Amino acid sequence: MKSRLIWMVVTGLALALILLVAVQTTSFLSSVPIFSGDVEISEPAEKSEPVTDTGFTPVIFRTVNEFGTGSSRLLRVNGTSEPNAVLILLNRNQRLRQIRADDAGNWALDVNVERDQTMVLELVMFVDGGLNVRGDETVFRVPVPPKDAEEIDLDKPALIMVTAPGGPTRIVQTPFGGSPTDGPLTMGPIDYDDSGGVIFSGTTEEEGRVRIFAGPSAIGETRVGAGGRWNFIAGNMLPLGEYEIAAELIKSDGVKARVSVPFERLPPSRNTELSFVPDIRYEPFRWQIRRQLLGGGAQYTAIFAPQEAEALIVD
């Protein structure tokens, strides 16, 4: 009788353990995205949000290049991410391509160029455990609009830029054929938001300091960093309206170079509905690109033609 009682207790404990394992396994499987092959995702891209401090390697665009001729043009993009992560490439928030990073976290792909539409490329990374992380960076390809209702001239280079909230925009290709330059100093794009926060950036071939002016007033200066890049970030600095922005390269023996551009800080748009297509203001020697951010607000990027550039006339 005693041995039978012991057997019943042992059997009950074993059944309880099996039930516990089954419940935990079901819970785990319910949290993992369902894949079809290697690259189908279980949730729509619209639900993904930027995620920070996850402990994962962030997904970034390392290089972007356009090549090909005529209507057969491709964008070649590559970058890094968490090793072996599934990556979903979006264009205007719609799934375009799906790939998997290699064991070192490297990835690369080619996509067809849309000749007459603005392309807005972003990446969503899926990692073990079902977590999806939307990358901070966005690649914009903005073609030159047609003149007098003609077809787009494919010989005119489109604007290609890589941007992220709170950081300086990188210009890969510009329709103006270059950026404003004086000797060793180049002025890059100007990024700003609706509060007047601003990021100035550029490059120089020489060491020194770069001083920034808004109109006649000096508003700050910064030291040239590694690789000849410089940037200056200020909050609530720029007033609305149009005025000159200038950058001076200052050496120990004085001012070495000065670049100025005709800047205009645009007023905030009344349209606050989230859109994945940017608003673009085309001008002969200046373009401004406004995009809305997932977390709210907007960021603007102004790009400028060099002094020797011809006017870029569009409708």
Q: What is the pLDDT of residues 285-301, one digit of tens each?
A: 999 999 998 888 899 99
Q: Under the phi-then-psi rule, with left for phi > 0, alpha for psi from -120 to 50, and beta for the rest, what region is 27?
A: alpha
Instruction: Report whether pLDDT(27) > 60.
Output: no
Q: Locate tokens 């005693």: which residue?
A: 2
Q: What is the pLDDT of residues 71-103, one digit of tens each?
A: 789 999 999 999 999 999 999 999 999 999 999
Q: Which neighbouring-strand residues pair with 88?
A: 98, 124
Instruction: Report whether pLDDT(121) > 60.
Output: yes
At residue 234, φ and ψ (nearest 5 deg) are -140, 145
Q: Are residues 184 and 279 in the same domain?
A: yes
Q: Are residues 101 and 203 in the same domain?
A: no
Q: What is the mean pLDDT of residues 41-66?
A: 65
Q: Residue 22: its pLDDT value, please?
A: 39
* Separation of first and last alpha carbons in the chain: 97
Q: What is the mean pLDDT of residues 215-244?
A: 93
Predicted confidence band of residue 49 (pLDDT cuts 50, 70, 90): very low
Instruction: Report whether pLDDT(33) > 70.
Output: no
Instruction: Report whether pLDDT(122) > 90.
Output: yes
Portion of the chain with pLDDT greater than 90, in percent: 64
CATH number of the domain to which 283 belongs? 2.60.40
Domain that holds residue 258: 178-304
Predicted confidence band of residue 188 (pLDDT cuts 50, 70, 90): very high
Q: Residue 141: its pLDDT value, please?
A: 97
- Domain stops at, among 136, 168, 203: 136
Q: Are residues 211 and 269 in the same domain?
A: yes
Q: Three-state SS for 10?
A: helix
User: Considering the domain boundaries, does residue 217 fall inside one?
Assistant: yes
Q: Comparing 50-59, 229-238, 303-312, which segment has the lowest mean pLDDT?
A: 50-59
User: Considering the domain boundaries, does residue 188 fall inside one?
Assistant: yes
CATH number of the domain to which 128 belongs? 2.60.40.10
Domain tally, the chain: 2
Give long-range contacts, CB 8 A cutoff, 24+ apart: 277-283. 277/92, 277/118, 277/120, 278/118, 278/120, 278/140, 278/142, 280/118, 280/142, 282/145, 282/312, 282/314
User: Considering the domain boundaries, does residue 196 fall inside one?
Assistant: yes
The Cα–Cα gap between 240 and 51 comes to: 32
User: Considering the domain boundaries, does residue 287 fall inside one?
Assistant: yes
User: Considering the domain boundaries, does residue 227 fall inside one?
Assistant: yes
Q: Residue 127: its pLDDT value, please?
A: 87
Portion of the chain with pLDDT greater than 70, in percent: 80
Q: Are residues 131 and 238 in the same domain?
A: no
Q: Are residues 125 and 233 in the same domain?
A: no
Instruction: Report whether pLDDT(40) > 60.
Output: no
Identify whether the C-beta of residue 97 lies closer than 8 Å to the C-beta of residue 109.
Answer: yes
Q: Are residues 184 and 259 in the same domain?
A: yes
Q: What is the mean pLDDT of residues 28-35?
A: 32
- Domain stops at, among 103, 136, 169: 136
Predicted confidence band of residue 28 (pLDDT cuts 50, 70, 90): very low
Q: Residue 14: its pLDDT value, please?
A: 46
Q: Are residues 74 and 186 in the same domain?
A: no
Mean pLDDT of the chain: 83
Q: What is the pLDDT of residues 261-270, one digit of tens each?
A: 999 999 998 8
Which residues have CB under 8 Å from 194's CB, separation 6+?
268, 297, 298
Identify whether the C-beta of residue 286 lies closer than 8 Å to the C-beta of residue 262.
Answer: yes
Q: Comparing 41-45, 92-96, 115-119, 210-214, which segment has the lowest mean pLDDT?
A: 41-45
Q: Residue 152: its pLDDT value, please?
A: 62
Q: Are residues 201 and 129 in the same domain?
A: no
Q: Comparing 13-22, 75-84, 155-164, which segment has the lowest mean pLDDT?
A: 13-22
Instruction: Report whether pLDDT(38) > 70.
Output: no
Element (H, E) at 24: helix 2-30
User: Considering the domain boundaries, does residue 22 fall inside one?
Assistant: no
Q: Are residues 214 and 284 in the same domain?
A: yes
User: Considering the domain boundaries, does residue 252 fall inside one?
Assistant: yes
- Domain stops at, among 77, 112, 136: 136
User: Considering the domain boundaries, does residue 313 fall inside one?
Assistant: no
Q: Are residues 128 and 68 in the same domain?
A: yes
Q: Are residues 65 and 131 in the same domain?
A: yes
